[in-house]
């Protein structure tokens, strides 16, 4: 993948991951209930919207909420809970590859120079950005649909409390 294509792919992955942010509002009402609306809003502003509140942290909270609340989830959704969380983590890992891997290293061998980006987990291999982009692009719409269903189920449960 040439530098221009890589830059476009990086932008696409970063932009599309933003659509997958787990619902902070659902988390907050799950833990705090609806009684203290101002407290819940302040909690969301100060915790979930803080620049240090990572995507991984929100995914871990989602996993805990889904584990505790499996009884009130749509049964089809509860069965897919671990698949959905795993898929979110896979997308985040792909995003991190685009955000943090590179620039390409220049290696001179036998009079020629090649550019490679080492794979972050497999040091003897190069990172295939085309494969990472394809994986992200294929998985992202499925995860978005799953997250929308999770949010609907969580909101419906919280509304009953």
Distance CA 31, CA 36 (A): 11
Rounded average pLDDT over 123-145: 88
Task: Provide the pLDDT for residue 134.
Answer: 92
- 3-state DSSP assignment of residue 137: helix
Please tell me the total count of domains within the chain: 1
| Secondary structure element (H or E) that encloses residue 134, with its range | helix 129-160
Cβ neighbours of residue 58 under 8 Å, at least 6 residues apart? Answer: 21, 22, 24, 27, 48
Between 117 and 71, the more confident residue is 117
Higher-pLDDT residue of 136 and 26 is 136
Enclosing domain of residue 121 = 3-160
Q: What percent of the chain has pLDDT over 70?
A: 70
Beta strand ranges found along the chain (DSSP E): 105-109, 112-116
pLDDT reported for residue 29? 58
């Amino acid at each position: 993948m040439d530098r221009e294509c890589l830059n476009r792919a990086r932008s696409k992955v970063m932009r599309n991951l933003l659509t997958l942010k787990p619902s902070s509002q659902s988390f907050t009402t799950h833990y705090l209930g609806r009684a203290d609306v101002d407290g819940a809003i302040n909690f969301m502003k100060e915790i979930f919207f803080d620049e240090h509140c990572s995507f991984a942290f929100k995914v871990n909270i989602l996993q805990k909420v889904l584990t505790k609340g499996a009884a009130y989830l749509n049964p089809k959704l509860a069965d897919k809970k671990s698949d959905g969380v795993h898929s979110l983590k896979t997308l985040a890992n792909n995003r991190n590859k685009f955000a943090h891997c590179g620039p390409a290293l220049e290696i001179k061998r036998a009079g020629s120079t090649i550019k490679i980006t080492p794979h972050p987990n497999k040091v003897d291999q190069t990172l295939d950005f085309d494969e990472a982009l394809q994986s992200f692009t294929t998985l992202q719409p499925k995860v978005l649909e799953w997250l929308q269903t999770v949010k609907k189920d969580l909101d419906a449960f919280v509304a009953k409390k």
